[in-house]
Amino acid sequence: MKTLLVIDVQNDFMPSGSLAVPDGDNIVPVINSIQDKFDLIVATQDWHPKTHSSFAVNHDNKSNFDSIEWRGKLQTLWPEHCVQGSKGAELHPELDTTKYEAIFRKGTDINIDSYSAFYDNNHLKATGLTGYLKEKEAKKLYFCGLASDICVYFSIRDAIQEGFECYFIEDAAKSLDLEVFETIKIKMVAMGVHIITSEAI
């Protein structure tokens, strides 16, 4: 089954959002244009409590994008974003979600950040996505969304470890840090990820 995973195409990651990904809104028409080519479409949403530990505002004397050690791991502190039930947490209003069979929410645990669609960053809690996809007999996963260098990448990395064949649709994703992503692309190729464009689907 040909499966599309639409990662975190949410208002807070758009140019006007609190954690803006450059040109993040440009991928919405690209994603809409490819959806008819898939048998199954699943989306994810960052869905944080307002008091989430990854928000800089919840730590004394810390600023956005500072790094701290939190529960034995290095944690980037982010601007408050994708708070549960907020406008910023909603999927982009122009994203065509009519074919989406499920939406998996992540980052709900106050004490653990969760970039991946499959697990939190400490691999303590699964979202249930692996079991869902295997029940659907999905084998080939195509990834798009925001941001390429963070949530999309961590989702792909976990998907590879779970035994899925993975494709990254480069023109249907944007990165927060272009320089970092160039290094990540090399890692993805080494993991066996197929890097393609929407025209190649």
Q: Catalytic positions, please?
A: 8, 106, 151
| CB-count burial class (<10 Å; 0-12, 13-18, 19+) for 30 | middle
Report the relative pairing of strands 140-146 and 100-106 from DSSP bridges: unpaired
Q: Which amino acid is at 89?
A: A
* Cβ-contact 112, 75 below 8 angstroms: no
Of the chain, the end-to-end C-alpha distance in Å amounts to 14
* Strand partners of residue 14: none
47 CB-near residues (< 8 Å, 6+ apart): 82, 84, 89, 105, 106, 107, 108
Of 87, 91, 127, nearest in space to 107 by CA: 127
